[in-house]
């Protein structure tokens, strides 16, 4: 309420919220589509569907599969094809009650980032740095502003001894952040570049 009605006091903001919620329920015209519980307003999963939720289910299944395979002999875990295809596409909306597309895109980016880091971390822990590098590069194809992907790529490249390419990755990161967002790389990314330039190999690859 403070974000939506910053100039209204407590009672006025609550009245505005209640009025807006009433209008939203009328516009949706779907019984019980909105759930207000513990101060949090959300869509009811029993009557609404979003692509972000579908991605979460797919990745939960992938993580469960990986855990099952870790308990016994099995081929090396691979990200299932269906979720991987989803990673390359932005959130496209939903069926049933509609959601805020910006919020959906942010959620999809978070899911994608988790999947990329998990896959790259699994590969690097198995000593497969080439796959980890490929995973981070593919992640950057989908989201070339994801600073965590640049850091992962820099660490993996440095671990292979390719210091020059690791620093090139940092320069690409710095240029894109400056051109697109008008910001500098974070202190963490900058510190990592200095470590690599000094010849250090980062201990962590995730």
Alpha-carbon distance 152 to 176, whole Å?
A: 17
What residue ranges do the domains of the chain occupy? Answer: 1-48, 49-143, 144-206
In this prediction, residue 90 carries a pLDDT of: 42
Contact 82, 58 (CB under 8 A): yes
Alpha-carbon distance 191 to 206, whole Å?
A: 15
- In this prediction, residues 168-176 reach a mean pLDDT of 94
Helix 51-70 with 101-125: angle, nearest 10 deg: 20
User: SS3 letters for the chain?
Assistant: CCCCCCCCCHHHHHHHHHHHHHHHHHHHCCCCCEEEECCEEEECCCCCCCHHHHHHHHHHHHHHHHHHHHCCCCCCCCCCHHHHHHHCCCCCCCCCCCCCHHHHHHHHHHHHHHHHHHHHHHHHHCCCHHHHHHHHHHHHHHCCCCHHHHHHHHHHHHHCCCHHHHHHHHHHHHHHHHHHHCCCCCHHHHHHHHHHHCCCCCCCCC
In this prediction, residue 190 carries a pLDDT of: 94
- In this prediction, residues 125-130 reach a mean pLDDT of 87
- pLDDT tens track for 7-30: 887 788 888 888 888 888 888 877
Of 48-57, 136-145, 176-185, which range is least confident?
48-57
Alpha-carbon distance 135 to 120, whole Å?
A: 6
In this prediction, residue 183 carries a pLDDT of: 93
Could you tell me the pLDDT band of residue 73, with boundaries at 50, 70 and 90? low
In this prediction, residue 24 carries a pLDDT of: 87
Contact 140, 150 (CB under 8 A): yes
Q: Residue written as tokens 């209640």?
A: 18
């Amino acid at each position: 309420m403070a974000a939506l009605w910053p100039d209204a006091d407590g009672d006025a903001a609550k009245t505005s919220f209640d009025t807006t919620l009433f209008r939203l329920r009328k516009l949706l015209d779907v019984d019980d589509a909105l759930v207000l519980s513990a101060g949090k307003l959300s869509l009811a999963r029993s009557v609404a569907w979003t692509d972000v939720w579908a991605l979460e289910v797919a990745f939960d299944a992938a993580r469960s599969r990986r855990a099952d395979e870790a308990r016994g002999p099995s081929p090396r875990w691979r990200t299932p094809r269906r979720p991987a295809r989803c990673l390359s596409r932005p959130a496209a909306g939903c069926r049933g009650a509609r959601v805020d597309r910006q919020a959906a895109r942010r959620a999809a980016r978070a899911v994608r980032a988790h999947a990329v880091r998990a896959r790259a971390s699994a590969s690097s822990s198995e000593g497969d740095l080439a796959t980890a590098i490929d995973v981070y590069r593919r992640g950057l194809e989908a989201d070339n502003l994801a600073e965590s992907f640049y850091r992962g790529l820099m660490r993996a490249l440095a671990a292979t001894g390719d210091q020059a390419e690791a620093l090139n990755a940092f320069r690409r990161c710095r240029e894109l952040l400056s051109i697109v967002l008008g910001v500098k790389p974070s202190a963490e990314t900058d510190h990592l570049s200095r470590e690599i330039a000094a010849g250090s190999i980062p201990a962590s690859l995730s």
